[in-house]
Amino acid sequence: MLKKLLIILLLPCVAAFAASGRYWNTGLGGVTMQFLSMQVSPRSAALSGAGVADASRISEVTRNPLALTGLRESEFGLNQIIFGDAGADNFVSVYYGLPLFESFALSFGLEYLGYDDLEGRDDEGMLTGDYGAYAWALQAGAGNYGKAFGWSLSARFAYQAIDDESTLAILGDAGVVYRMLKYLSFGATITNFGYVTDSEFSGEHEAAPMALQAGVTGIVPVSSLLGLESLWEVHVSADAYRRADMDDPEWRFGMEVAYQEFLLLRAGYAARPHTEDGFSAGLGFTFGRIVFDYGYSPRPALGDGNHYLGLGVRF
């Protein structure tokens, strides 16, 4: 009863916090290490970031700590982003999930983002030569899952270097999820909450890319409703997302059509007041112990998009 009361009280508070502007004092662009808030896994990218209450892939754990609450088998894998022409040169993340006892799980993650040959200019706009930039993060987490209630916590150390200047961060994530009956879930997370050193590169104080997300997912058992074997399900998610430098929240919507876990078709839409809206899509397969996911997220203003690839092995 205490767990149910906690989640019922927490979710409306987090949703209101995410939608309100009075608690947020960082101007747009006033956060550093923004790579820690971009989508990483193909599934979350295909759903436009929706589905915080329905994290069915442990590959999402570096962005959604609640991915631990769905872990039932050990899994090791990696995600890679192939950026459009105006993106970074490379991004890769490695994850590992380990279930323990009957209801606990651990996770570990490592990610790297790299830029090469960036064009440098002085205050007057004159070329000064090329330089490089890169960032990486290491994290570990733990979570508990039950039939109705689940929680998770994780800690992260991140490092960012631009030319000869660097920034360090010690951050944390937390999440709670409540599954009402079998076909409705509520979830909320706070991510990247913690300490960041002052930026040497910009000379300005920058904050951590702290973000709040709250959402609901409904599951429609299509086959059961039609009196067939329970094979097809449709997952529909709606979320509110707010990062510390956003004046208004994003509204994210996603749908996943699942034929067991063998085939999953995904699509999403995000309404982003601070930047361009966009549709996304993707799919997933499971072949025995092999898990494969693909996602595509367009960038209309740049005329291209990002491709997301994920490959995992369960054991």
- 303-313: per-residue pLDDT in tens? 678 899 999 99
Q: Is the pLDDT of residue 23 over 50?
A: no
Reported as a single tens digit per residue, the pLDDT across 68-115 is 998 889 999 999 999 876 655 789 999 999 999 888 999 999 999 987
Q: What pLDDT, on a 0 to 100 scale, did the predictor assign at position 8?
A: 54
Reported in sequence order, the residue ranges of 197-262 that DSSP labels E, i.e. its strands, are 211-220, 232-243, 250-259
Which 8-state DSSP code applies to residue 89? S
Q: How confident is the model at residue 27 (pLDDT cuts 50, 70, 90)?
A: low
Q: What is the pLDDT of the chain when averaged over all its residues? A: 83
Nearest to 28 by CA among 243, 272, 302: 243
Residues 6 or more apart whose Cβ sits within 8 Å of residue 279: 48, 267, 268, 269, 298
| SS3 state at 86 | coil
Q: Is the pLDDT of residue 126 over 60?
A: no
Q: How confident is the model at residue 120 (pLDDT cuts 50, 70, 90)?
A: low
Q: What pLDDT, on a 0 to 100 scale, did the predictor assign at position 174?
A: 94
What is the pTM (predicted TM-score) of this model?
0.85
Please work out, in degrees rounded to the nearest 5, the angle formed at the alpha carbon of residue 214 by the alpha carbons of 5 and 33.
130
Paired tokens of 203:
């000379």
Q: Measure the CA–CA gap between 90 and 159, rounded to whole angstroms.
A: 16
Q: What pLDDT, on a 0 to 100 scale, did the predictor assign at position 251?
A: 94
Q: How confident is the model at residue 2 (pLDDT cuts 50, 70, 90)?
A: very low
Q: What pLDDT, on a 0 to 100 scale, did the predictor assign at position 129?
A: 60
Paired tokens of 301:
């203003």
